[in-house]
Amino acid sequence: MFVSVSDEIDAAVCARASRMISRSAIAQLDQDLNGISGALFVFGRDLVRLLLAKQREAYDGKLIVFSRENLELFPRWYLVKALFQPTFPVQAVSSTALNLSHPFIIRSQGSWIH
């Protein structure tokens, strides 16, 4: 595609020196260059999508669930820690610096118990 359009442009430039270029040849070159422009746009768009996906993968990592099939992927320390993970969500306990005697539990729904 690129080579054939380059050859057409070279032929048009050489022909322009000796005679007029036909409108149909100019229209064909314009159509071919628009096709190349579209192909480069699609290539650039796909490349940016791929790079963004790789960036997300690099920063966020991949979620790997502990299972019998992939235990060899984890260090032993991770496996020991996984044994002691609670099966229910952990609740955070918080207290202000001024009132240390009455901590409160922050629930995931946003309600507070004092």
Three-state SS string across the chain, please?
A: CHHHHHHHHHHHHHHHHHCCCCHHHHHHHHHHHHHHHHHHHHHHHHHHHHHHHHHHHHHHCCCCCCCHHHHHHCCHHHHHHHHCCCCCCCCEEECCCCCCCCCEEECCCCCEEC
**What average pLDDT does range 102-111 have in this prediction?**
52
**What average pLDDT does range 106-113 have in this prediction?**
51
Instruction: Please write the tens of the pLDDT for every residue from 67-81.
Output: 788 888 878 887 788
| Highest mean predicted confidence (pLDDT) among 3-17, 43-57, 65-79, 88-102 | 43-57
pLDDT of 47 above 90: yes
Torsion angle of the four alpha carbons 114, 95, 93, 110, in this order, in degrees rounded to the nearest 10: 60
pLDDT at residue 114 in the model: 45
**What average pLDDT does range 93-98 have in this prediction?**
52
81 or 55: which carries more pLDDT confidence?
55
Token pair belonging to 80: 């020991």
Q: How many CA atoms lie within 13 A of 84 on its CB side?
A: 4
Share of the chain above pLDDT 90, in %: 22
For 17-26, 72-81, 88-97, which range has the lowest pLDDT when averaged over its residues? 88-97
Which residues share a beta bridge with 92?
106
